[in-house]
Amino acid sequence: MPTAFPKTGTLVEAETFTYYGGWKLDSQFELEMGSPYLLAHGNGIPVADAKTVITIAEGEEGVYNVWVRAKDWVPGHHPGRFNLLINDATVPVDFGANDKDWSWEFGGKVKLRAGKSRLTLHDLTGFGGRCDAIFFSKDSISPPNGVDKQARAWRKRLRGLPEEPVDAGTFDVVVVGGGVVGAAAALTAARLGDRIALVHNSPYLGGNASVEVGLRPRGVRGSLVEEVSDRHPNGDIKAKSILDAEPTATLFMEYTVYNATTTGSRISSVHARHARTSKEIRLRAPIFIDCSGRATLGMYSNAETLVGQESRSEYNESLALQKRDEMHHGNTVFFRTKQSSSPVSFPPVPWATSVAKDFSDLRGQLTRPGVENGPGPQVIQPNHTDDPKMRRRMKGPMTHFWEYGNWLDPYTNGERIRDHLLRAIYGTFSNVKTLEPEKYANLALDWVAFVPATGEFRRYKGDYVLSEPDIRTHKAFRDGVVTNDGAFCLHYPSPDPSSAKYDFRLKDWEWDERDGKPYTVPFRCLYSRNVDNLMMAGKHIR
């Protein structure tokens, strides 16, 4: 352990709090910022306090320095401020207001007695306050802020966690990613009698179709997809209850895969970390199926992948560009508004309207899980003229028109992309209420997701690359295993986001239904060409 790191102290990870109150556990960005965290996602209404208790051993009482790892997610405006209370006494610092990205903020000195002390996170704004951890130390050295192995080892040591992942078993198949395709893959293997492990980084299965996001599966849906994606009354899909009933299936929910070991050209094991406990496990199998949508296992096993848009000449595709580029599908944050029975206030949000600018169209809502492209309030401003170059299809209430991040690396900028979309939604909502205050006095944000829907960006390369000509001509394959009838769906943001008036809106969209007839996908598209025991399904195949 480097001497610059504090050697002793009490580290309290926010995800270990006993009671979250209205705060949400957000673990989707831990690989880029270092840890799961608690998020005060109240859409402008401060959320209920999160609480826990710590114990100071006899003889260890005294004066401690306290640090809180937080993020000022819009520097200069500080929309995500919160307080820390110790035994109901407020530490005199508004955390999340230091104009910095994730960092340890010094809260001063506090006196801790021997025995139990209550910790409380008190949200001040309802706008995305976030707390990763709290650290108490009699040492004056600031905790490590990085996301590297040394910082991780420091946290493990203070919490008494093993340095290496513990063995969690050997299975016939390990499936990474519990979206609809991952759930279907796991269920298929389990019903064939295989011992399967399904590793998923959320408390809800479904991925883009989960209750956290709400899309519905498209294209050809067989009986298995229909079975796992059918919804409970609360909007959650039924995949988990179905898989829980399978005797050979083991679900590892809220586990993020952070590494894979390889032997030659084969994956030997995957390592995953639990969001709430930081417990790290190792899973072994002769076959691994990546259904993460992010080519996660490919990143750790050096599988061949493709990123961005290929040029027209590479696969003779008429819809492709003349020259390849790095653009990919962006992300979308879904939302829903409602008319309340009485006026609903909404605070000024200059940090959000700076993104939304004068945009005042709240169409494209998620009406309920599984029903997107819903209507919403739209204020057409005086002297408004439509862009004469805008195609008619771009004027509709489409959910996916709210999209951002097409030119950013989603592995390192996922939180930034999500936050930018939140600002766009809050700013647009503010514009609508401000422009027509009487008509929309009762307008409220009914729901705004904090988990974005994600598009494709990195795709595996199999022994065969399915191309546009193959699909248009319905090429027959001796190893054809899947049929689909989906359209070519191409998203086009502004080629220069810095000059786009509304950088959170698609500039154009191609929906080419071809002849509407099914096409076949060969088995050679569904396994890695250079990692012998890696298969894949979902949006990251090519």
Tokens of 216: 């519905």
Phi (first) and psi of residue 264, to 5 degrees: 65, -125
How many Cβ atoms sit within 10 Å of the Cβ of residue 239? 29
pLDDT of residue 156: 95
Give Cβ neighbours of residue 112 (< 8 Å, ≥ 6 apart): 56, 61, 62, 63, 64, 86, 136
SS3 content of the chain, % helix, strand, coil (to 5): 20, 30, 50
**What whole-number distance in Å separates Cα of residue 182 and Cα of residue 198?**
8
**What whole-number distance in Å separates Cα of residue 102 and Cα of residue 218?**
38
CB 154 within 8 A of CB 142: no
pLDDT of residue 396: 81
The CA-CA-CA angle for residues 136, 56, 275, to 5°, reads 60
Q: Which domains does the chain have, with CATH numbers?
A: 10-159 (2.60.120.260), 164-306+526-542 (3.50.50.60), 330-454+463-522 (no CATH)
Burial label for 352, CB within 10 Å (0-12, 13-18, 19+), is: buried
Give Cβ neighbours of residue 25 (< 8 Å, ≥ 6 apart): 15, 36, 37, 38, 39, 275, 276
Of the candidates 131, 144, 153, 158, the residue with the CA atom closest to the CA atom of residue 15 = 131
pLDDT of residue 388: 75
Q: Could you tell me the maximum CA-CA distance found in the chain, to the nearest angstrom?
A: 78
**What whole-number distance in Å separates Cα of residue 361 and Cα of residue 256?**
36
Give Cβ neighbours of residue 361 (< 8 Å, ≥ 6 apart): 376, 378, 379, 428
Half-sphere exposure of 158 (CA within 13 A, CB side): 22
pLDDT of residue 2: 45
93: three-class secondary structure by DSSP: coil
pLDDT of residue 233: 95
pLDDT of residue 520: 96
How many Cβ atoms sit within 10 Å of the Cβ of residue 476? 10
Give Cβ neighbours of residue 446 (< 8 Å, ≥ 6 apart): 336, 337, 338
Burial label for 227, CB within 10 Å (0-12, 13-18, 19+), is: middle
Q: How far apart are the first and last CA of the chain?
A: 44
Mean pLDDT by 10 residues, the chain (542 residues): 73 98 98 97 99 96 98 99 98 98 98 97 99 96 90 94 97 98 98 98 97 88 90 96 98 98 98 98 99 97 95 93 93 98 98 97 96 94 76 84 95 98 99 97 98 94 96 96 89 86 92 92 98 96 90
pLDDT of residue 293: 95
Give all strands (DSSP E) within 401-479, no chain letters: 443-448, 453-454, 458-460
Burial label for 478, CB within 10 Å (0-12, 13-18, 19+), is: exposed
pLDDT of residue 389: 76
Give Cβ neighbours of residue 213 (< 8 Å, ≥ 6 apart): 206, 207, 334, 449, 451, 452, 453
pLDDT of residue 341: 96
**What whole-number distance in Å separates Cα of residue 468 and Cα of residue 277?**
46
Give Cβ neighbours of residue 155 (< 8 Å, ≥ 6 apart): 11, 13, 35, 133, 161, 278
Of the candidates 38, 43, 46, 45, the residue with the CA atom closest to the CA atom of residue 19 = 38
